[in-house]
Structure formats: structure tokens, C-alpha cells
Amino acid sequence: MKRYFAFVAFIAFLLSAVAVHAQTQQVDTIIAHGIVVTMDSARHVYEDGAVAVRDDSIVAVGPADEIESRYQAAHRIDAHGEIVMPGLINGHAHAAMSLFRGLADDLSLNDWLQKYIFPAEARNVTPDFVEWGTRLGILEMLRGGITTYADMYYFEDNVAQVTKAAGMRGVLGETFIDFPAPDNKSVPQMIAYTEKYIQHWQGDPLITPAVAPHSIYTCSTKTLEAAAALARKYHVPILIHLSEAPFEGDQSRAKYGLSPTAYLESIGFLGPDVTAAHCVWVNAGDMELLASHDVGCVHNPSSNMKLASGASPIVSLIAANVPVGLGTDGAASNNDLDMFEEMDLAAKLQKLVRMDPRALPAEQVVAMATINGARALHMEKQIGSLEAGEKADVILIRTDAPHATPMYNVYSQLVYALKASDVDSVMVGGRMVMEHRRMLTLDPAAILAHAHAYAKQVSASLGSALK
């Protein structure tokens, strides 16, 4: 009788082993044994978790033992002691402006733009400048765990080439503006350039071409309408600066009798394809319009503070159901592209302006930098969380630095203690682009050398205006 049971048990074991083996699926990579912060809707955190990746997508996320029993991978990454989370999404940047980092600070907005930034752009911005500046920005961003960025600048076709070569994801908006830009000298030229640019890049797995009318104070109604029409012809996103500083609202009310948001609504500009950077000076009515048209907003606390633009009412925007992401803006007004700094600042700024230490808790801020940032860019089905079916944009963050020890709460640590320099490895679309801080797709020495050379040129071009 005993033997019989033993025999049955043995057969059962064999069958189950065969079943398990049959269920075991092949994937490309398993990132295992990290603290997996999914940012899924239930905010699952797996203390000993794993992520399975095939091609450019996530196949499964869960407890490490479960994932490792269901999948086998050619490549295995041990994330022991590290946080594994979705790559950060920088919702608003001008990457190439990294070459102007610290060029002219602590000035009035008018002096800063008219005496330094605009002349420096007019005299220096070429396709080559944009390529090296963008590489510098991407190098900094990837090193800080940013896997997607939204860009607004000139020569975006060059920006796209560089971004693609770096293996980074980008929503790259070509600028429309009512004065001659470094790349295009008139709106018809901007339309022609951008249409060709969109046709070239649409459908690319990493690059989303976009149309970026600069703002309502630099674009006529006609230009805004032309930009929106072009974007909607091709179903590509629209990026714009909105209600950044008080003067914009004053001008809009004087000219159109409407707030900037209401004016954009009145010309049919707002829609679920629009991402608006800043949204500092928005009232309750504006928030309702933004929410009802599913416009995404991107908060840029460093830039808003440094340029004295104001403090965006983020807590109210979120309460009004506006998807709110987080951005760095350009290095000329920040002066770096560091989402850890923006997270820390976003949380602290809301507490201060609301005089409430409970305002914008850490978990919400991490959401702004990930899944809600994806929502603000209308890309939440592709990026922003670690879930099966999402693109495999995954970062690994060391937790053993003195400034990050001990750790009681992972969201607190991400927002208030961890730094860009703690990011250890970065994967974009299933491809490793940084491994233990070694860059795999960029040549840092060449980028820094070109940055130094361009800085000399920029200084010389401004002559005596620079101290």
C-alpha cells in the first residue's frame, strides 16, 4: 500500500514537472530580485520582484520566484538591493539647450532672453550644434534614469536621429514660431519641414514626431491653427508652452478677452493630443477646460522657480482630473535635466505654497514622473508603468548610498533622498543603454569635447555681453 502511494506520488511529480516545463516560456531578459515598484493602478510593490522582457516589451511582472518559475531567459540581471521601476518621463525639455547651461543666470526674463538666449541661438544653432547639444542632454538624462523625453526645439529631424541612435524614446516637437527660427524662416517653411519630418519618422518604435507651436504669445491664431491642422492630419501630438508667466494671461485677456486656455479652446486647439508645459497661471475654469479636452499638463518646478514664473497649482490640477506630468525644461533655465531633483522640488513646492505638509505626497510625485507623465503625453498604454504589454523601459537604482540609507518607504526615498547618480542601469524598449553607469550607446568623451568647443564658440559669439 505504501509503495503504491509512493509510486502514484512519483508519477504525479513527473507529470507536474512536465507541466511546469511546458508552461515555462522563453523570454529575452529577466530582471530579478529587486524591489519592483510597478506604478500599476494598484501600486503593487514587490519586495523581491522580477520583470520578464521579450523583444521591446514587458511580458510579466511579479514576485521573483513566480516569474522565475514561469519564464526562462537568455539574459538575467540581478537587481538585488536595487529599486526596479519604470523609466522616468521628462515631459518638457529643450535638450540641445544643454550647451547654454549656466550661460546667463539671475537676470530679468527680458534681459535673459533678449541679451543672451536669443542672440546665442541666432548665432550658434545649426544642425550640428543641435545634434551635439541633444547628445549632451540625452547623456545626462539617461544617466539620471530618464527613458522618454518630450522636446521642443529646432532641427527636430536631427534631434530624432540622435535620440534614435542613443536608443532613447522621444516625443520630439518641431517648433512653430512667428519669427525666423534657426531652421525655418517662415511659417510655410515650418509646415513644409515638419510635414516631411513627420512622414520620415511616423511609426518609428522610439520616436514620436510632434508639432510644437511655441506659445500663444509668439504664434498668431493662424500659426496655431496651421500647426494643429498639420498635427491632426497625421495624428501626431501637439506640444505647447501654456500660461507660464503672468504676462501671457495679461496679453491674452487684453487681445482676446480670454485666458490663454480659454482662447486656445475657442480656436479649437485643445484636444486629447495636446500636452501643455507649465500651466502655472490657470484658474478653475481653465482646469475644467483642460480636463474636459483631456489635455496633459507638465509641471516644471525648477524652471518656474528659477525664472520666477510662479508656482503651478498642481494639487488643484490633479483634483480637477487633469493628467499632470513632470519636466525639467531646458538646461538654460534649470540648469540640469534631473528628474530626481524635480520630484523633490515638486513635492516640497506644493507643501510650501499650500502651507500643508500633507500636500502632494511622495507616491503621487513618483506617479507624475512615470505613469501620470505618460498620461500627460497620452502614451500610458505604452510607457509609465511596469505591466505586461508595456514597453520595457526599466531603470535600476542602487539603494546603498549613505544619503539613501536606511530606507523605510520606497516612495519617500525616491522623492526625497535618492539622486540621479544612484541610477545604476537603464533599459529602453528592452535594450540596455546604460549598464552599471557605463554608457552603451553614447560616447561621453566625444560629447563633452564637443560641448567644450561649442561653449567657446557661444562665449565668443556673445562677446562683451558675457562677464
CA separation for the pair 93, 66 (Å, rounded): 39
Cα–Cα distance between 177 and 212 in angstroms, integer? Answer: 9
Nearer to its own copies, 87 or 209 (CB): 87
Q: Within positions 238 to 277, which residues make up the interface with its own copies, using CB under 8 A?
A: none
Q: Is 168 in the site for its own copies (CB under 8 A)?
A: no
DSSP category for residue 244: -
Q: Which stretch binds its own copies (CB under 8 A): 44-52, 71-79, 87-95, 134-142?
A: 134-142
Residue 109: CB minimum distance to its own copies, A: 6
Grid cell in block for residue 183:
531652421
Exposed (0-12), middle (13-18) or buried (19+): which is 66, by Cβ within 10 Å?
middle
Show contacts with its own copies in window 357-416 (CB under 8 A): 357-362, 400, 402-409, 412-413, 416
Q: Using CB under 8 A, which of 106, 235, 463, 464 touches its own copies?
A: 106
Question: Is there binding between residue 431 and its own copies (CB under 8 A)?
Answer: no
Give one DSSP letter per residue of 393-438, joined into a string. -EEEEE--SGGG-S-S-HHHIIIII--GGGEEEEEETTEEEEETTE
Nearest CB to its own copies, comparing residues 30 and 420: 420
> Grid coordinates standing for 117?
538666449
Q: Is 348 in the site for its own copies (CB under 8 A)?
A: yes
Q: What is the largest CA-CA distance in the chain?
A: 100
Residues in the chain: 467
The DSSP element (H or E) to which 77 belongs, if any, is: strand 71-78
Using CA atoms, how far apart are residues 368 and 360, in angstroms rounded to an integer? 10
Min separation Cβ 31 and its own copies, Å:
23
Answer for which of 16, 23, 108, 321 binds its own copies (CB under 8 A) is 108
Q: Is 466 in the site for its own copies (CB under 8 A)?
A: yes
Residue whose grid cell is 502614451: 379
DSSP string of 281-298, one letter each residue: S--HHHHHHHHHTT-EEE
> For its own copies, which residue of 242, 326, 420, 434 counts as binding (CB under 8 A)?
420
**Nearer residue to its own copies within complex by CB, 104 or 236:** 104
Cβ closer to its own copies: 317 or 331? 331
DSSP state of 24: P
Contact positions with its own copies (CB under 8 A) in 276-315 = 302, 304-308, 310-311
Q: Nearer to its own copies by C-beta: 98 or 223?
A: 98
User: From the CB of 277, what's the least distance to its own copies, in Å?
Assistant: 17
Contact between 338 and its own copies by CB under 8 A: the answer reads: yes
**In 166-263, beta strands by DSSP E:** 169-176, 207-213, 238-242
Nearest distance from C-beta of residue 5 to its own copies, angstroms: 43
Judged by beta carbon, residue 71 or residue 454, the one nearer its own copies is 454
Residue 419 makes contact with its own copies by CB under 8 A: yes
